[in-house]
Amino acid sequence: MRYAQIVIGPAGSGKSTYCTEMQRHGENTRRTIHIVNLDPAAEAFDYNPSIDIRDLIHVDDAMEDEEMHYGPNGALVFCMEFLLDNMSWLEDQLGEDDDDYFIFDCPGQIELFTHLNIMRRLVDALQLCNFRLCAVFLLDSHFMLNSASFISASMAALSAITCLEVTFISVLSKIDLLSKNSKKQLERYLEPDVTDLCANNSLVLSNSKWNEKHQKLTETIGRVLEDFSLIKFVPLNIRDEESLAHILLMVDNCIQFGEDKDVKVAEFDEPDEDEGDDGYGEEV
């Protein structure tokens, strides 16, 4: 069995930085984490990729082709489809070693994981290669400081969940860049009362014709999110080792990483009957 994170999210949400810091955190904790760059348009990143899609195809290859005449977005979609048509290349690059841990750094073109089936096909292909997968959806926390943005972000995350159909964690990135006031504002969206947020949004937009027409729809969406606990965002301070470890532990639990390893059982001295020790070093 092998394990992997699929890191997705809008452009600028901090995906490559997340991968860099996770790789560094792994090195600090004596854990090998392989990074796979799946962005054919990437110009630079700080991590050391074990596999790079640009060795197979680059977005410039599609854009410069005289027959296809693709723009940047179309060229990126073409590159991802080219990868899927040449999965044998990726399979050879991944190898067959058990217990490998990979993080796939995906492009930031949001339609790839919201309404196109490209990322879903990649997920299916990786599962056939014996991977347990968890999608990590990153969103810039600066866009989560009002009720309307919270609803919008929740729907984007929900769309990605529906498309990929794998275990899923929604992460708010760039917490370390928020002001103290913004961090306080953000707290209400980590354990949200969606009904209250929708009501607050109604007050803010009370003079809006759009709000008057669609407020019931917004409230219904809010109730669905709250009643079924569909989305919960986890904050990530990329500069905090404990925050990184917390996210990594959540992912590991989702994909059951390490659960099949031998458990080291602590050895305890037999308690002295006269002392009344309970076996854990505590007096009864």
Write down the pLDDT at residue 82.
Answer: 95
Dist. CA 104–CA 124, nearest whole Å = 14
β partners of residue 43: none
Instruction: Check whether 284 has a pLDDT greater than 60.
Output: no
14-24 pLDDT, tens per residue? 999 999 999 99
pLDDT > 90: percent of the chain: 54
Q: Which distant-in-sequence residues (6+ apart) come within 8 Å of 94 by Cβ?
A: 2, 36, 51, 100, 102, 129
* 226 or 195, greater pLDDT: 226
CA 9 – CA 137 distance, rounded (Å): 5
pTM score of the predicted model = 0.84
The residues spanned by each domain of the chain are: 2-182+232-255, 191-229
**CATH architecture, range 2-182+232-255:** 3-Layer(aba) Sandwich (3.40)
**Neighbouring C-beta atoms of residue 172, cutoff 10 Å:** 25
